[in-house]
A = this chain, B = another copy of it.
Amino acid sequence: MAGRAAGLGVKLRPHLKTAKSAEVARVATAGQFSGITVSTLAEARYFLAHGFADITYAVGLAPARIEEALALVRDGAKLNVLTDNSAVAAELARRAAAASIPRPLGVLIEIDCGDGRGGVLPDAQELLKLAALLDAPNLLLAGVLTHAGHSYGCGSAEAIAQVAEQERAAAALAAERLRGAGYTCETVSVGSTPTATHARDLRGVTEMRPGVYMFGDLDQVGLDSLPLERVAVSVLASVIGVYPDRVLIDAGGLALSKDTSAQRHGTDIGYGLVMNVQGELLPGAHVAKANQEHGIVRGLKAAIVPGDRLRVLPNHICMTAAAHPGYYVVDAGTEVLARWPRVNGWEQWS
């Protein structure tokens, strides 16, 4: 992905929502400008504590989180938050003006490039209204941000490339309009792993924010983001039951997640494909059903006994990894070389 960003002439601000790990962030930012993207303020706090100060929180800011965002700036973060709503922008301006912070809180305006989730349309009048509201003390209109979530619905690399062009064009148009109205717009941010992988041209864009590419999963394999052999994370499970037509493993819905997104790429994917403990795919074997702590594996041709270990390649690693406190790092074999913790959840509980 570093090569993709360099080739396209944009900065890489990797999204750590998938990995949620400082060790992974160090790999993902090696040779880059060290900026990162996060999906929760808990991640922002964690990554700041691990030396990552340039952070974009790429989920629309809830008013209840404004104080937490300002506190991160106070504690040294170069933080950008996101909104597309004038009431939130006005509240941000009010609260920031009253805050004592060493640098302004950056605000990105969210643009809808066709996904229909969050954002204002790039040609909407609302865009300039938001910019005016954000022109306030202790705030910095940092630029625009968009996410082509609809790239996940594409059936081919060609279709993804077209969505990537929509994503680019929407962000670039919004930035041009802001600049035309006299605002600075330093950051023009796009990103999703499929569009980052298949984009042909990112003229007018300054950075991209893919995240799931770091690990990959069966959905990304189906979307042609990477070959199956490069999916980096699997769930290690033990066989707890053997029957003529199925095998039970001790990894079910809680360990794998109930995400079914990859099922659209093939009929025999279920809740994940199955490998042996060395990481070799066992053709046809898949987790056909996932109860809370039970996975029902079908299609397994190899002889198997209770206690044997299997690896499950996940449908959607963002969901699967979130069920676990961290990663056991292995190389070719099964020896654990390191343990890399994750920052899960949304708040300090204890």
What residues of chain A have their CB less than 8 Å away from a CB belonging to chain B? 17, 39-40, 59-65, 84-85, 87-88, 91, 116-118, 149, 238-242, 246, 248, 250, 253-255, 257-260, 289, 291-294, 296, 305-307, 316, 318-319, 322-326, 339, 341, 345-346, 349-350
Contacts and interface: CB of A to CB of B under 8 A. Distances in A.
Contacts of A325: 345, 349-350
B307 A63 contact: yes
Nearest to A149: B291
User: 6 closest Cβ contacts across the A-B interface?
Assistant: A63-B307, A60-B240, A62-B238, A325-B349, A258-B259, A118-B241
A296 B117 contact: yes
A346 B326 CA distance: 12
* Copies assembled: 2
A40 B319 contact: no
Nearest to A40: B293
A324 B306 contact: no
Contacts of A318: 253-254, 292
A321 to B, nearest CB: 10
Given A259-B258, A260-B258, A325-B345, A64 B118 contact: no
A240 B294 contact: no
A39 B341 contact: no
Contact of A305 (B87, B305, B324): B87
Contacts of A65: 238
A326 B345 CA distance: 11
Contact of A62 (B253, B307, B339, B345): B307
Nearest to A211: B292
A293 to B, nearest CB: 5
A88 B241 CA distance: 9
Contacts of A346: 255
A158 B258 CA distance: 29
A64 B307 contact: yes
Given A117-B291, A253-B319, A323-B322, A61 B345 contact: no
Given A117-B294, A254-B319, A326-B349, 4 more contacts: A62-B240, A62-B307, A65-B238, A339-B349
Nearest to A348: B325
A324 B258 CA distance: 16
A235 to B, nearest CB: 11
A293 B253 contact: no
A22 B131 CA distance: 50
A294 B59 contact: yes
A116 B91 CA distance: 56
Contacts of A248: 60, 117-118
Contact of A260 (B84, B260, B350): B260
A40 to B, nearest CB: 7
Given A253-B319, A293-B40, A242 B307 contact: no
A239 B62 contact: yes
Given A60-B240, A240-B61, A306-B62, A292 B345 contact: no
Nearest to A82: B240
Contact of A87 (B61, B87, B306): B306
Contacts of A319: 253-254, 258, 292
Contacts of A257: 257-258
